[in-house]
Structure 1
Amino acid sequence: MKKNDLLKDDNNIIRVLEIQPDKILIIDCIKKTMPVWVESSALDSFSGCTGEVLNEATNFAVTVIDALDADQRKAMYDRYTLIAPILPFIADERMRSKVIGSTAIENNISKQTIRIYLCLYLTYMNITVLASRKRLDGDAELTQDEKNIRWALNKFFYTTKKQSLMTAYTMMLKEKYCDSMDVLVNGYPSFYQFRYFYRKTKKMQNFYISRDGLKSYQRNNRPLIGEGVQEFAPAIGVGMLDSTVCDIYLINDAGNLVGRPILTACVDAYSGLCCGYILSWVGGVYSLRGLMLNIIADKAAWCKKFGIFINTEDWSCDKIPATLVTDMGSEYKSENFEQIAELGVKVINLPAYRPELKGLVEKFFDVVQSTYKKHLKGKGVIELDYQERGAHDYRKDACLTMADFEKIILHCIIYYNAQRIVENFPYTEILIAETVKPYASCIWNWGKSQMGANLIEVGAEELILTLLPRAIGRFSRFGLKVNKMRYHRDGYTEQYLKGGEVTVAYNPEDVTSVWLLENGIYTKFAIIESRFEGKDLTAVQSLQTAQRDIVKGANQENLQAQINLVRHIEAIAGSVRNSADVSVKNIRDNRKREQLKHHRNYMKGVKP
C-alpha cells in the first residue's frame, strides 16, 4: 500500500492520502466527503483498484486539458488556486480547517464550496475535474423573475389540474410578489412576460404528459413513427385478443330484457382477418374457451348452423396463432389461460391502458359495431347520448334475441374478412406481382403459404382439456380425491395404495369426470359417488355444504343422546347386585337351559 493508491471493497472505493505506522488517512471516493483517519486494520478487506474502475463507478469522463475551452481552463485553475494552500495540511485537521476558513474570507466564497473542490480533486487527483461544466445552448443563467415564472409553471400549470396560464400567473404573484399582508409589491413581471417565457420554453411532450398523464400521451399524442403492426407481426400467426360490450340491448325468447352481450374476438395482426369470435353473456375465462374453440372450428360449417353459406376461402382459419397478444384483463392473466402455452402458444400481456398496441382488434370492434348500428336504430341500439340526463331509454327498444343478433354479427364479420378493402396494408413487390386482392381473407390465404407463417394445429378435445381449470388431487385407498369428491379408473391400484398428490384438470360445469395430467397426457377418471353425476361444481359444493350444516346442527342432539345413554347404562348396572363368586362350571348345560327358557315360536299368533 502506497500513498495515493486506490482501494476497493464491494461498492466502496477509497484513496490513501497519508500513511502512519498505526493509522491511515483516506477519502471516500464515492461519497466524496472530507478525509478521515482510520486504523490500519480497517483496510484489511480492501484490495487494489484502478482509476478506470473509479471513473466507471462515479460516471466520470477523463478529459485532457487541451480539450477544454478557455473559460473551462480559467475556472479549473482558479479553483485549484483556492485549494492549493490547503493541500499541505490535509493530514492536520485543525490547520486544514483554519486554512479553509481564511481562504473563504479572502475570496468571498463559502467554506462548503471550497470543501467540495478539495474533495473532488483528492478523489480523482486530476485537475481537470475542477473544470466548469460546458454550458449548452439555451442553458443561460435565469434571472430571478424567470426562475419564479418557471416555478409557477411547474407548480400550477404543468399539472393534472389543468389550470390556465392566467391562473398560474395569479398564483405566482400571490406566492412570490406579495408582502406579509398579501399586498402586491412593485417590480413584478407582467402577464405578457409570463406568457412569453412559457412559449419560449414550452415542450409539447412535457405539456401532454404533465397535464393528461403518460398513458393518455402514449395512447393519443405520441409520435407514430414506426412501421405499425408489421414491426412485430411480419407474417400471419400473431393474434390479438380483446372483448367489448356491444352497443345494443337484447331480449330472450320470452320477450324479457336481458341486457348487452359481450363480443370476444381474435384478429390476426398481419392480415387483419378475424380468426374467431364468441358472443356470450359471460366474459372472462369462459368466453376465452369458446373463442379458442371457434378459432379452430370449420367456419363454413359454423356459419351453416345459422343459415349462412360462405366459401371456405372467405374464412379459412382453423388453427391457433402461435402468438396471442392480450391486455391486462384478469381473464388473460389467469393461470387457466396461460396453460395454453403447453400447446406451444406464446402469450404476450400488454401494459394496461395501451389499446393502441393492439389497434387491429380495436378497429375490428369499431368497424363491426358501426356497420350494424346504423341499420338497427330504434331496435335497442345505444346512441352517444345514452348516459345524458333526459336521454331516451334505449332498453325499451330492445327486440332482437341473441340468436338474431349473432346472425347479424356473423354477416358483419364475413364482410369484414372478405369484402372490406384493407386500404393501408403495406403491399410488397411480391404481393403486387401475385395480384393479391386487398381483402383480409385474401391476404390471409396468401400469407398461409409463405415462410414465417406460424399457426398451430390442435384438436378441440386437446384444446379444451388444456384450458380446463386444475386442482391438486390425492390418491388414497378411497380413490382419487378431487374437490372433496372421489374418482376411480381401473389400473391404478398401486397409486391408490401408495398415495400422493397429482395435478388434475376438472370441468366446473360437470363433475362426472376429471382428467389426471401426467407428462402432458390426460387420463380420464369417473366419479364414484353416483349422486353427483351430471351436476356442476357449484351444485355439488352446495350439497356438501348443506350436508355439513345438517350434521353440525345435529351435534348438540347427539351429545345429549350420548349423555342419556351413559345415564341409562349406569342406572341399569347400578341396580344389579354383584355376585361374590360366580361358578364357571357346566357352562354348556346352563346355555342350553337358557335357550329353552327364552325360546319363542314366532309363527304363534300370526294369522295365516
Structure 2
Amino acid sequence: MIFYNQVYQFTGKEEKNRIRVIAIDDPIVYFVELHGNTSMPKKAVISDIETEVQSELLIPIPDPFAKSYSDKDLTEKQIQKRDEDWQVVSEGWDKYKKSLLIRKERDAIFEQIAKQHRIAKIKVKRIFTRFWQRGLNRNALLPDYIYSGGKGKERQLALAKVGRPRKYSSTKQGINITDNVKKQFDYVVKKYYRNKQQLSLTETYEYLLREFYSDKYYEGNKPKYKIWEESKIPTFHQFYYWFKKLEDPKLDFQLRHNQKEFELKYRPILSNSALETDGPGTRFQIDATIADIYLVSSFDRNLIIGRPVVYGVIDVYSRLLTGIYVGLEGPSWIGAMMTLDNMVMDKVEFCKKFGISIDESQWPAHHLPEIIIADRGEFEGYSVENLINNLNIKIENTSPYRGDLKGIIERQFRTINGKIKRKAPGAIQKEYRERGDKDYRLDASLNLEEFTKIIIHLVLHHNQNIIDKYPLEKEMISVGLTATPINLWNWGIENKKGSLQVIHNQNILRLNLLPKGKARITRAGIKFRGLSYGAERALNEQWYFKMRNHSIEIVFDPRDMSKIYIPHTDGRGFDTCYLLDTSSQYKGNTLEEIEYYHELIQEARHQEANKQKENTLNMDGAIESIIQKAKKEKKQTIVSNVSKAEKVKNISANRQAEKIMNREEEKFTLTEKPIIDTCQVVEFTKKNSETVEIPKKSTSRLMDKLRKKRDEEFGKDQ
C-alpha cells in the first residue's frame, strides 16, 4: 500500500536515490526525487510501485526532513522568508495542483505564478522543489541558515549608510533606521493607522513626514509644511519594510475594524462543512465527553473516583474511530495529547496491553490526517503551532456553541453513552434524582482499566457496524459495498486520494505534542518548577560552568516530572534530564502534586513565622538576662586596689586553675556511691599524699583561693 507523503529509497543505490510521494490519483502516483535544486514531479503506476515495494527494490524509510521546529526558535527573517515562499506555494498548489503534476502544463503555470508574484520562474521552481522534497508543509520552506554563518540578526549601524544606494535620488544617500526612527514609525502607526478611520499605509507615511520630517510655516492663516531634503528623511520603502517586519495583523484588524467582522473573517475555521473529504485522512474530528458512569478505585472498590473522560478521534469520510483515550485528564490538552498519540499507535499492540487480541484488519488506523476539527479549548495554545508547521496538519477550531460542526463524533459519543447506561453498574439513570430514589453512584463497580476495555470493545463493534443513511457513491453500490467504517476505510484507500500520513518515529510526534517550558542552568543543576535535574550532555559540555544562569527550552510531561527533555536544534532528537538527589523525593509525582507540596511548604513556613519570631525574641531576652546578672555580680566583687595590669597579667594561670576546677566538676563516676556503716576509726601515722599539686610560685588570686579550698578539704578528711 502506497501512502501520501511517504519517503522511499531504492536498495543497493546511493542515498540520493530517494523519492517522496506527493500525490495519489489512482491508478497513478506522483513522486519527486529528494536530490537536486529543481526536482520536478514524475509519475508511475501504483501497481508498479507496489511491486517494487513488495520485492524490496523500494523500501519505505523515515522522513529525513521530519523535524520539530517552534517559531520561538526561528529568527524573524527565517519566518518572513518562509511565509513569503509559503504564499507562493499554497496559492499555486491549491489552485493548479493537477496542472503542476503534468509535465506539459507545468512550465506555463510556473510562468503564471512568477508573473503574479513578480519573481523569476527559476525561483518559483526552486520554491516548489523545496516544498515537495522536504515534506509538503510550511516549515519545508525554511532557509538553511543553520548551515551558514548568518544568524538573521539586524545589522549594527555605524555612521555610514547601510543598504543599497538610492537609485533615482540625486544625492544617492539616505538615513539609517535607528531605534529612534523606529519609535517614530511605531508612534504614527499607533496614532493614525490603528483606528477606525482605516488610513492607508501611504497616508500614514505622509503623517510621519508631517510630524517629524518637515518644517511648519504659515501663508496668511493657513499652515503649510516644507518637507526636508531627501537625504534626511526615510523613504516609504523603509517605512513599509519595518512596518511589515514588526506588524501584528490580528491587532491591526481588530483596531481598524469591529470585533464582529474579525470573528467573521479571521476566526480559525477554514470550512463549515465537515463532509468535504477526498477520502480517508482528509478530515478527522476530535472531541471529549464525560462518560455517564461512576468508577471505583483500582486499589479499593469501595472508593468511588467519579466519572471518567472519554476522548475520541473519528475519520469523517469512513466514520472509523482512529484513536481513543479513557482517563481522568480533562477535557484538557493532556487528554487531547494522549488521544493524538493513540491515533498514530499500532492498535494491535494497544489492545494487547488490555488483554484483547485483534488483528490489524479489525482496527487498521495508525495515521496522521490532513485536517483536525476540534474545540477551541484544548487546541488553543500549547503545541498546536508545532503540529501545523512541522507535520502539515491543519487545525479547524469550531466557534463557540457550535457542536454541530463536529456532529459525527458527537453522535458517536451519544451512542456509546447510551449503551453504557443500559449495561454498566454505576451509570447515570436520571439527570436529576428525586427524593427517595436510589443513589446510582453506590452501584459503581468498574475501575478505569475495566471501563477502558469496554470502550475498546465498543469501538471494535462500531468499526464493523453498518452505518445507517451513509451516502454511498455509485462505485460503492456497483461493487456491493456494505457501509461499515472498516469497509469504507479500505475502499477509500484503494479508490480515493485521501491524505493519510504514517509516523515512523513516534517521539517526533510526542515532541510536537508535549508542553514546553523554560529551565535555568545553575551550579545546583538544571532548575525547572523548583526541581533540580541533571543531564549527561550538560556534564560533558560543562554547562554548569559555561552557561550558568542561562535559560533553555525544555519539553516536559506534567503527569510525571521525573524527567524533562531538551529538544535538539535540528528537531530530530532530544536529551533526557533526570531528577537529582536533592529533588528525588518528587520522583513519579505529577506537576500538580509538586505544586501542591510546594504550597504546603510555604503555608507551613507562614504559619510558623510568628512562632519563630517569638522564639528569637525569647532567646534574646534570656541572653540579655544572663549578661545583666553577670555585670551586676561583677560590680559587687570589684577589688579597688587591683590594677588593670595585674588583672590581665595572670590569664594563663587563671585559665589553668579554672580548668582544674571544671575537671573536678565534670569527671565521670561510673560506680554507685557506697553506703558507709558505723565503724571504728583507725588513725594512720602517714598522711595521704594523693592530692592535687598546685604551683606555689603563681601570684594568681584564683590560685590562692584554690590552695585555700584544697587545705580545707584536706583538713576535713583528717
* TM-score, normalised by the number of residues in structure 2: 0.45
For 2:473, which of 396, 418, 427 is the aligned residue? 427
Offset of residue 554 of structure 1: 1.8
- Deviation readout 1:68-93 (Å, 9 max, x if unpaired): xxxxxxxxxxxxxxxxxxxxxxxxxx
CA shift at 1:289, angstroms?
Answer: 3.7
In 2 relative to 1, CA 317–489 (structure 1 residues): closer, same or farther, beyond 3 Å?
A: same
Equivalent of residue 254 in structure 1, options 296, 301, 304: 301
Match of residue 211 from structure 2: none
| C-alpha distance in 1 between matches for 2:543 and 2:625 | 48
Against the structure 1 CA distance between its residues 604 and 563, is the aligned structure 2 distance closer, same or farther, given a 3 Å change threshold?
closer
Q: 1:238 aligns with which of 276, 283, 300?
A: 283
- Residues 367 and 501, structure 2, Cα contact 8 Å, conserved in 1: yes
- Where do residues 472-511 of structure 1 align in structure 2 (5 Å cutoff)? 472-490=518-536, 491-492=538-539, 493-495=542-544, 498-511=548-561
* Aligned residue in 1 for 2:407: 359
- 1:46: Cα distance to partner? 12
Report the secondary structure of 1:407's partner residue. helix
Q: Secondary structure at the match of 1:272?
A: coil
The answer to whether residue 597 in structure 2 is matched with residue 540 in structure 1 is yes
Q: 1:404 to 1:485 in 2, by over 3 A?
A: closer
Q: Deviations over 1:517-544 (max 9, x none)?
A: 4534343132331333344414532553
- Change in Cα spacing, 1:307 to 1:482, as seen in structure 2 (3 Å) is closer
- Contact kept? 2:293, 2:428, Cα under 8 Å: yes
CA displacement at 1:352 relative to structure 2? 0.7
Equivalent position to 2:324, from 277, 290, 293? 277
Q: How many residues align?
A: 395
Q: Which of residues 415, 419, 441 in structure 1 aligns to 2:461? A: 415
Q: 1:480 touches 1:496 (CA, 8 Å); kept in 2?
A: no
Deviation per residue, 1:320-347 (Å, 9 max, x gap): 4353221133x33353666655752443
Select the residue among 610, 613, 617 that pairs with 1:555: 613
Q: How does 1:180-579 map to 2 (within 5 A)?
A: 228-231=273-276, 235-250=280-295, 254=301, 258-285=305-332, 286-329=334-377, 331-335=378-382, 344=391, 345-373=393-421, 375-376=422-423, 379-382=425-428, 386-387=431-432, 393=438, 395=440, 398=443, 400-402=445-447, 403-421=449-467, 423-425=469-471, 427=473, 429=475, 437-448=482-493, 451-455=497-501, 457=503, 459=505, 463-464=509-510, 466-490=512-536, 491-492=538-539, 493-495=542-544, 498-517=548-567, 519=569, 520=571, 521-529=574-582, 530-535=584-589, 536-538=593-595, 540-545=597-602, 547-549=604-606, 551-552=608-609, 553-565=611-623, 568-569=626-627, 572=630
Partner of 1:130: none
Asked if structure 1 preserves the Cα contact closer than 8 Å seen for 2:517 and 2:554, the reply is: yes
- Aligned-pair RMSD on alpha carbons? 4.8
Question: Is this contact kept in 1: 2:463–2:485, CA < 8 A?
Answer: yes
Greater Cα shift, 450-459 or 293-302: 450-459
Find the residue that maps to 1:556 and give its secondary structure.
helix
Residues 545 and 320 of structure 1: is their aligned pair in 2 closer, same or farther, counting only changes over 3 Å?
farther
Matches of 1:12 and 1:539, distance apart in 2: 50
Mapped partners of 1:346, 1:580: distance in 2: 97
Contact persistence 2:369–2:499 (CA under 8 A): no
Q: Is the 8 A contact 1:233 1:269 kept in 2?
A: no
Partner SS state of residue 411, structure 2:
helix
1-side partners of 2:279 and 2:220: how far apart?
64
Q: Deviations over 1:24-68 (max 9, x none)?
A: xxxxxxxxxxxxxx9865463699xxxxxxxxxxxxxxxxxxxxx
Structure 2 contact 466–482 (Cα < 8 Å) conserved: no
Could you tell me how far 1:457 is from its partner in structure 2? 1.4
**SS in structure 1 at match of 2:487:** helix
Match of 1:102 in 2: none
SS of the equivalent of 2:340 reads helix
Q: CA deviation at 1:12?
A: 11
Task: Report if aligned partners of 1:381, 1:394 keep a CA contact under 8 Å in 2.
Answer: no
SS in 1 for 2:415: helix
> Taking structure 1 as reference, are residues 484 and 457 closer, same or farther at Cα in structure 2, changes over 3 Å only?
same
Distance of 2:414 and 2:504 partners within structure 1 = 30
Letter in 2 for 1:442: N
Q: In 2, distance between residues paired with 1:43 and 1:428?
A: 76
Kindly tell me: are residues 293 and 572 of structure 1, through their superposed partners in 2, closer, same or farther at Cα, counting changes over 3 Å? Answer: farther
> In 2, Cα distance between the equivalents of 1:467 and 1:567?
66
**Which letter maps to 1:540?**
Y
Per-residue CA deviations over 1:393-449 (Å, capped at 9, x if unaligned) read 5726845514554333222211211232364245375x6788765322233345456
CA contact (8 A) 2:280 2:315 kept: no
Deviation at 1:504, TM superposition (A): 3.4
* Bigger relative CO (Cα 8 Å, ≥ 6 apart): 2
For 1:357 and 1:45, locate their aligned partners in 2 and report how far apart those are by CA, in whole Å.
Answer: 57
Q: Distance in 2 between matches of 1:506 and 1:227?
A: 35
Structure 1, unaligned stretches of length 5 or more?
1-8, 14-37, 48-213, 219-225
Q: Distance in 1 between matches of 2:521 and 2:388?
A: 27
Deviations 1:338-386 (A, max 9, x none): 665575244332101111211221122233334555x539x55555x64
Shift of 1:265: 0.7
Distance 2:648 2:432 in 1: 101
Contact 1:236 1:454 in 2 (8 A): yes
* Cα distance, 1:462–1:554 mapped onto 2, change above 3 Å: farther
Report the residue type matching 2:440 in the other structure.
R
In the TM superposition, what whole-angstrom CA distance separates every residue of 1:119-151 from its partner, at most 9, and x where no partner exists?
xxxxxxxxxxxxxxxxxxxxxxxxxxxxxxxxx
Alignment of 1:149-164 (within 5 A): none
